[in-house]
Amino acid sequence: MSVAGNPKKKGGVKTGTGAIKRVPASVQLLETRLQSADEEIREQAWKSIEKLGAPEEPLIDKCEEQLHHENWFVGFAGANALAFCVDMGSGMAAANAAEPHLDSESQHLRYCAGQIFVGIDQRVAILVDSLKQQKAFTETMASPPPGRLDDLDQKIIAANAPAERAIEMMAQRLVHENPKVRQNALIHMTKMEWRCVPYAENICTLVLDPDLSVRNELIRTITHLGAFLVDGVHLFAAAMALE
């Protein structure tokens, strides 16, 4: 049973030119499962996304499409699905698909975008940890395969890229004209903890933000992150001295 409220034609979507772009059967099945009324089925859908073997573009498009669904549970399922695209090597594409929603007037879409970035960070951490374990094991070998360590180093860098891009995208929103966008970015950056270190000064500068909700969010951020923000604390302290 689906929780979908708006029936859609299956098998293809219209492109900007009006042509019909075919959607693979595996992606259609994913959509059906993401829209299921059964929470367990929705969860299984996003957690098994790597096994689909679906092409990146239609998969990312279909997952992003769920964010706009009238049922919030489906929207969150789509957000989780985008985060799990990291497992199939499509983390950067997922981040790019989510980025415009950081600026949305819709609180729901802003929140979903933030959750996608946090999810990307979590999936990246698991992938990087696995690669580091492989590297550590390779280093114990008497005669590791030629180029194996260099290959793993490159894979670790590539695996980290989506999370680094995600935190960068949110940091850019700390100076957005909409205080709700700034607050949402701060909320979700906080959940990425140590990745905030390069943006410590950007974060602590918000102590002078004209919006009270943003300043209050900053207090919660500093309380949670503590030492991670040491490079920006002097800005916070200086602002307090002016009060």
* Both structure tokens of 44: 């299984």
- What confidence category does residue 6 fall into, taking pLDDT thresholds of 50, 70 and 90? very low
DSSP code at position 105: S
Q: Are the C-beta atoms of residues 200 and 221 closer than 8 Å to each other?
A: no
How many CB atoms neighbour CB 232 within 10 A?
A: 22
pLDDT tens-digit map of 44-76: 999 999 999 899 999 999 999 999 999 999 999
pLDDT tens-digit map of 153-207: 999 999 999 999 999 999 999 999 999 999 999 999 999 999 988 898 899 889 8
- The DSSP element (H or E) to which 13 belongs, if any, is strand 12-14
- Residue with the bigger pLDDT between 20 and 169: it is 169
Lowest mean pLDDT among 49-58, 132-141, 228-237: 228-237
Residues 112-116, mean pLDDT to the nearest whole number? 97
pLDDT tens-digit map of 67-113: 999 999 999 999 999 999 999 999 999 999 999 999 999 999 999 99
Which class for 100: exposed (0-12), middle (13-18), buried (19 or more C-beta within 10 A)?
exposed
Nearest alpha-carbon partner for 113 in 72, 71, 160, 64: 64
Burial per residue of 105-133, b for 16 or more beta-carbon CB atoms within 10 angstroms, e otherwise? eeeebbbbbbbbbbbbbbbbbebbeebee
pLDDT of residue 230: 66
Measured between alpha carbons, how far is 155 from 137 in angstroms, rounded to an integer? Answer: 15
Q: How many helices (H) and strands (E) does the chain have?
A: 11, 2
pLDDT of residue 171: 97
Measured between alpha carbons, how far is 211 from 200 in angstroms, rounded to an integer? Answer: 19
Domains detected in the chain: 19-194 (1.20.58)
DSSP code at position 90: -
pLDDT of residue 1: 44
